[in-house]
Amino acid sequence: MTTKMTTKTNERERSREWYDRAQQSLIEGVNSPSRGAAVYSPGPVVLERGRGSRVWDLDGNEYVDFMMSFGALIQGHAHPKIVEVVSQTMAGGSHFAAATPAEAEAAERFQRMVPTAEAVRFTNSGTEATMLALRLARAHTGRTKFLKFEGHYHGWYDAYCLNGNSHPADQLGPRENPTRFPDSEGIPASVFDDVVLAPWNDLEALESILRQHGPELAAVITEPIMANMGCILPRDGYLQKVCDLAHQFGALFILDEVVTGFRYAPGGCQQRYGLKPDLSTFGKALGAGFPVGAVAGPRAILDRMRWGSGMVLHYGTFNGHRLTMSVIAVNLDLLSANDGAVYKQIYGIGDAAVAGLRDVFRRRKIDAVVQGFGPMFQIYFTGRDAIRDYRDYCQYADTSKYSRFIHRLLDRGIYMTPSNGLHWIISTAHTMQDVETLLVAADEVCAEMA
């Protein structure tokens, strides 16, 4: 690794000024807590523009971006083909709230990439997609309860807002009957009467819980990779077993690919792990930076949205937004070109970053593990050999140390969220030079921390 020192970018006077100004009109100066002082200390880096793998803040400081809008920017910033299609589409009208060819063109490309998508319905966000998936599952099964896992995030819909944040390990309760922690005020306690909670990556506990509640469940919903506590991989064969157990009790298996869809393979994690979910949800990378979600699955389930008596209602003025559909079409064309060759590039760069970071921590004698591979990974400061579930994360991950590590990387031109519960993202715009820049900065920070 080169010994070249990074250039510090910790002069952010205009960011501080704009953040102070924004607090006069916005709650905490932001529109989502993950962007503000809840994560960044003393306040956020205020970004002004981006291109490729780089972003610039209001003071002109340049960063290599490894957050990539929490994974939405699969093609990086301002990809020329996306800029071109946005300009062309806008010139003809961005949105009509009417039927357009763009909707079908986006859906056809989606179907070609996701084998389980006999049909697809577009929504405006990942949260809307998971809401719709649950409504469809309830209508299809005639049941109301569903099972979710500790630590998984499926959007901010009321029923999903349970045990999505970390809590002290000694308060979590038994694995077969976890303590229930609502993630938000303003949600009636009765909402959670229909939620069955289980630990993830633990088949024995899941089987025990399903023996008690299985016949009542409309669905079991899971992320394929636990992306709300960093990047926690499923145990070998675990996801297929979850699917099989759901079906054993007559419940649908919903795979939430809002984070992983179109990222790990053209067909997402369901392709990589050989899964056939009853319903799957998508967002983030699908829109390449534009807000969108989607529900995909068999017509036997999605046809329940056909107009008529007893239909599953799903309205939305901005569903199938013409501009977003045009972006999706070009984005999926880019990802599927040459039999998805771009995924080899993403994996190569991501795996080099993971291997390099592991080497830095080893040489600097820092207790840390780097989990994940290819397009997504996370660092945990821990003496453990791995973080395998939500309870490991709550007990063993030093999230304060991680935050300090990231703030020092920010000062060296590496843009990443200081929240340990999120993850590092590799886009098609990243290069091996970006990895080298990251490793030099990480080595400097580890030298200071050691």
Q: Exposed/middle/buried for 278, CB within 10 Å: 0-12, 13-18, 19+?
A: buried
* Average pLDDT of the chain to the nearest whole number: 96
pLDDT digits (tens, 9 = 90+) for 348-361: 999 999 999 999 99
Distances (CA, A) of 64 to 102, 429, 446: 33, 11, 18
Distances (CA, A) of 83 to 63, 88, 108, 291: 21, 9, 22, 16
Is the pLDDT score of 267 beyond 70? yes
- Length of the chain counted residue by residue: 450
Question: What are the structure tokens assigned to 271, written together?
Answer: 């392709």
The DSSP bridge partners found for residue 254 are 221, 279
Q: Whole-model pTM?
A: 0.95
Is the pLDDT score of 234 beyond 70? yes
Per-residue pLDDT, averaged over 132-142, amounts to 98
The DSSP bridge partners found for residue 226 are 232
Question: What are the structure tokens assigned to 111, written together?
Answer: 């179907």
Per-residue pLDDT, averaged over 17-22, amounts to 93
Per-residue pLDDT, averaged over 443-450, amounts to 95
- Over its C-alpha atoms, the chain yields an Rg (Å, rounded) of 22
Q: Which residues are catalytic?
A: 153, 256, 284
- More confident site: 3 or 148: 148
**Residues whose CB is less than 8 angstroms from the CB of residue 26 and which lie 6 or more positions away in sequence, other chains included:** none
Is the pLDDT score of 1 beyond 50? no
Amino acid (1-letter code) at residue 153: Y
Which candidate, 142, 145, 295, 130, places its Cα nearest to that of 222? 130
First-residue to last-residue Cα distance in the chain: 19
Q: Which of 2-6, 91-95, 181-185 has the lowest mean pLDDT?
A: 2-6
Which candidate, 226, 142, 217, 209, places its Cα nearest to that of 174? 209
The DSSP bridge partners found for residue 284 are none
DSSP-derived secondary structure letter, 125:
S
Is the pLDDT score of 2 beyond 60? no
What domains can be seen in the chain, in order of their start residue?
Answer: 13-78+347-449 (3.90.1150.10), 80-340 (3.40.640.10)
Distances (CA, A) of 66 to 6, 62, 133, 421: 16, 13, 30, 14
The pLDDT assigned to 309 comes to 81
Neighbouring C-alpha atoms within 13 Å toward the C-beta of 393 = 30
CB 68 within 8 Å of CB 296: no
Burial 221-250 (b: 16+ CB within 10 A, else e): bbbbbbbbbbbbbbeeebbeebbebbeebe
